[in-house]
Amino acid sequence: MTTSQDVVVSEMGIGAGGAAMPGSGAAGLFACRSAASAGAMSMRQTYRDLAAAASRSANCTWAELEAMRAASPTRSRPGTDVDELTAWMVSPAHPSCLHGARRFFTVHGCCLQAGGDSNLSLVLLCSEQRKHPSALGKFEQIASASKGKKIVMFLDYDGTLSPIVANPDAAYMSDAMREAVRDVAKHFPTAIVSGRCRDKVHNFVGLSELYYAGSHGMDIKGPGSNPESVLCQPASEFLPMIDEVYKVLVEKTKSTPGAKVENNKFCLSVHFRCVDEKRWNFLAEQVKAVIKDYPMLKLTQGRKVFELRPSIMWDKGKALEFLLESLGFASCSDVLPVYIGDDRTDEDAFKVLRKRGQGVGILVSKCAKETSASYSLQDPAEVMEFLLRLVDWKRRSSAPPMVRPRV
Ligand SMILES: O=P(O)(O)OC[C@H]1O[C@H](O[C@H]2O[C@H](CO)[C@@H](O)[C@H](O)[C@H]2O)[C@H](O)[C@@H](O)[C@@H]1O
């Protein structure tokens, strides 16, 4: 099912830099600590490469901000979104078909759309390649692929379990969602993988039975409150630098109304959701000016947020691999990782699933996007519905068969 994923995906981060980290395929629960120091050595050795990469990353263009605007639209574009989404989720009936009021035809295998508000608008997909059906609509398919396999659940937080809100400190998840996640964790090993600081996302979720991978996977902890259950912190050497850059960014951005710098422990976020669009460029320049002095950091974009993180080869995809290995599923064919996320950093995990030819990547999005995920869900409400169905399916499939009394 998920092995035939053939979407071409572009690199989405601004910064392409990163030091190769020996031991990134960790060999066990605590392997990451030694991998971290080996990684740190490697970082020192490749400082020059990193500096070059970082200066490349500091040269991001405004076009990338435009892409960012499209990636997290503030308002829907009337007359286009619904059609695009439909086409993205379900392949249109083929050349010259009528789809609603619009006419589709193909050029070089790509599906083009005529009519609507513009004379000719390119639909985001090549029809045969980029279908991301609803994970709810295809639930039976996903369930049957998981028969005889051990599901491991990976959940992003913002935009996946909680709705996107203007104030990042108020991104609460609902009690109903919490119960759904609790139920999922009763049946399958479950990890929250977030760009947030681990403690903060743990506080939001409030379930101690889960694995938590904070700071985009750079801070991984197992269930329970035992400090020994910290499993992996590959960027610990960066802590003093991150604290310093946090202070510099707060100072630098305080003249921009609405800008907010968030310290996520091993990485930083500079939010511009509440900044007047006219000032986005200026804010981007400010952030770029700061990161120029810190070539060991790279800059990427999320949903109306700039994210600064250590230039090490560690991301949500590596965190997923590390957790699978920690759980003893490194090279198992009978495991089915399910990863649900809404943001660009989640693409690293989707790509890992594709590379493994194993697992189910689900993008949470209301609009058509370029993605390595195989399925889609529109919003956290649909995520909750999917989780509940999975629990229900698991309960039913593991219940002993009913024995009919003989009459
Ligand atoms: O990996 P995630 O858990 O999705 O974290 C990514 C970023 O999420 C948060 O920011 C986003 O959600 C906020 C609250 O809804 C919203 O205000 C902001 O615009 C979004 O970008 C979090 O605050 C960031 O630190 C994370 O990097």
Of the candidate ranges 3-7, 101-105, 255-259, 380-384, the one whose mean pLDDT is the lowest: 3-7
Quick check: 161 pLDDT over 80?
yes
Give residue 174 CA to ligand 1 midpoint distance, Å.
16
Q: What is the share, in percent, of the chain residues with pLDDT greater than 90?
A: 60
Give the residue, out of 202, 305, 339, 342, with the most ligand 1 atoms within 8 A of its beta carbon, to mutate for a pocket test: 305
Of the candidate ranges 101-105, 200-204, 220-224, 327-331, the one whose mean pLDDT is the lowest: 101-105
User: Quick one: which atom of ligand 1 is closest to the CA of 165?
Assistant: 15
Q: What is the share, in percent, of the chain residues with pLDDT greater than 70?
A: 68
136-234+314-398 classified as CATH 3.40.50.1000: yes
User: Quick one: which atom of ligand 1 is closest to the CA of 316?
Assistant: 1
- Predicted pLDDT at 65: 54
Number of C-beta neighbours around residue 398 at 10 A: 8
Give the residue, out of 12, 69, 155, 158, with the most ligand 1 atoms within 8 A of its beta carbon, to mutate for a pocket test: 158
- Predicted pLDDT at 164: 97
User: Quick one: which atom of ligand 1 is closest to the CA of 167?
Assistant: 17
Give residue 157 CA to ligand 1 midpoint distance, Å.
8
Going by pLDDT thresholds of 50, 70 and 90, the confidence category of residue 128 is: very low
- Predicted pLDDT at 403: 72
Quick check: 95 pLDDT over 60?
no
ipTM beyond cut 0.95? yes
User: Quick one: which atom of ligand 1 is closest to the CA of 158?
Assistant: 4
Minimum CA distance residue for ligand 1 atom 7:
195
Domain ranges of the chain: 136-234+314-398, 257-310
Tell me the per-residue pLDDT of 233-245, one tens digit each, with 9 for 90 and over. 999 999 999 999 9
Give residue 397 CA to ligand 1 midpoint distance, Å.
36
- Predicted pLDDT at 229: 86
Does residue 370 or residue 401 have the better pLDDT?
370
Give residue 78 CA to ligand 1 midpoint distance, Å.
26
Going by pLDDT thresholds of 50, 70 and 90, the confidence category of residue 268 is: very high
Quick check: 329 pLDDT over 80?
yes
Minimum CA distance residue for ligand 1 atom 6:
195
What residues are in contact with ligand 1 under a 6 Å CB criterion? 156-159, 164-166, 168, 171, 194-196, 262, 264, 269, 271, 273, 302-305, 307, 343, 345
Tell me the per-residue pLDDT of 275-289, one tens digit each, with 9 for 90 and over. 999 999 999 999 999
Quick check: 130 pLDDT over 80?
no
Give residue 85 CA to ligand 1 midpoint distance, Å.
23
- Predicted pLDDT at 401: 72
Give residues with Cβ within 8 angstroms of 367, minimum separation 6.
73, 76, 81, 84, 85, 88
Of the candidate ranges 36-45, 101-110, 231-240, 252-261, the one whose mean pLDDT is the lowest: 101-110
Active-site hit among 83, 156, 158, 183: 156
- Predicted pLDDT at 131: 81
- The most confident of the ranges 27-36, 197-206, 394-403 is 197-206
User: Quick one: which atom of ligand 1 is closest to the CA of 159?
Assistant: 4
Q: Give the chain's largest Cα–Cα span.
A: 83
Minimum CA distance residue for ligand 1 atom 23:
168
Tell me the per-residue pLDDT of 49-67, one tens digit each, with 9 for 90 and over. 433 343 334 344 545 556 5
Quick check: 140 pLDDT over 70?
yes
Quick check: 79 pLDDT over 90?
no
What pTM was computed for the model?
0.77
- Predicted pLDDT at 334: 92
Give residue 69 CA to ligand 1 midpoint distance, Å.
15
Distances in Å between the alpha carbon of 168 and those of 106, 137, 177, 263, 278? Answer: 42, 31, 18, 11, 21
Average pLDDT of the chain to the nearest whole number: 77
156 is known as an active-site residue: yes
Give residue 175 CA to ligand 1 midpoint distance, Å.
19
- Predicted pLDDT at 208: 95
Going by pLDDT thresholds of 50, 70 and 90, the confidence category of residue 92 is: very low
Partners of 232 in the β-ladder: 220
Minimum CA distance residue for ligand 1 atom 21:
303
